[in-house]
């Protein structure tokens, strides 16, 4: 995470990319409703959030910002490695195109599968994306799972994937 990433994180916040995570923080820590943060309040809150775990910024080339050329942050990964395992959770920024999601995901999984067994729990909305990752040979399907799995509070059917 660099200082140059903050404007993109703030823009993603203003477009609602972090609504779910802010809601979870609010519920889990009995905080008042978190809305309309100033840039400085957002930065302070997320500095604390980043201290709670391991986070990665996913970058890709995008035309969403006409004045910028090169790699732009398109997503944030929350992943806390435990022993040899890692269960990442990705929050995509609103300007991330389907291609912007595929390229950094392949890079992230390829980089981390060398040191960790990366386990991913999908849901109906992300299932096709992880099928594509399996077609690229970077993930392997373990099988379906149901019940209270990490991150899926509503009990949706989930498929578990692992890095090859």
* Of 161, 13, 22, 146, the residue nearest 88 (C-alpha): 161
pLDDT tens digits, 118-163: 999 888 889 999 999 999 999 999 988 766 665 566 666 788 999 9
pLDDT tens digits, 62-119: 777 766 667 899 999 998 888 899 999 999 999 999 999 999 999 999 999 999 999 9
pTM: 0.83
What CA dihedral angle connects 161, 138, 91 and 25, to 10 degrees? 40
Q: Are 78 and 52 in contact (CB under 8 A)?
A: no
Buried b (16+ CB within 10 A) or exposed e, 149-163: beebeeeeebbbbeb
Residue 9 structural domain:
3-163
Task: Check residue 90 and give its pLDDT.
Answer: 92
Tally of structural domains, the chain? 1
CATH of the domain at 149: 3.40.630.30
**Torsion sign (Cα): 109, 111, 112, 113:** positive
Which DSSP state fits 5?
G
Task: Check residue 154 and give its pLDDT.
Answer: 66
């Amino acid at each position: 995470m660099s200082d140059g990433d903050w404007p993109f994180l703030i823009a993603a916040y203003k477009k609602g990319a972090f609504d779910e995570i802010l809601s979870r923080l609010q519920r889990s820590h009995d905080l008042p409703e978190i809305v309309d943060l100033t840039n400085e309040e957002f930065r302070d809150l997320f500095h604390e959030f980043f201290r709670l775990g391991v986070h990665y910024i996913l970058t890709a080339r995008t035309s969403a910002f006409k004045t910028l050329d090169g790699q732009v942050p398109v997503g944030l990964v929350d992943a806390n490695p435990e022993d040899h395992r890692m269960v990442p959770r990705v929050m995509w920024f609103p300007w991330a195109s389907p291609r912007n999601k595929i390229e950094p995901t392949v890079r992230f999984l390829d980089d981390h599968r060398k040191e960790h067994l990366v386990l991913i729990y999908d849901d109906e909305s992300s299932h096709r994306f992880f099928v594509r990752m399996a077609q690229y040979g970077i993930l392997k399907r373990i099988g379906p799972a149901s019940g209270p799995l990490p991150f899926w509070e509503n009990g949706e059917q989930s498929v578990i994937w692992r890095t090859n």
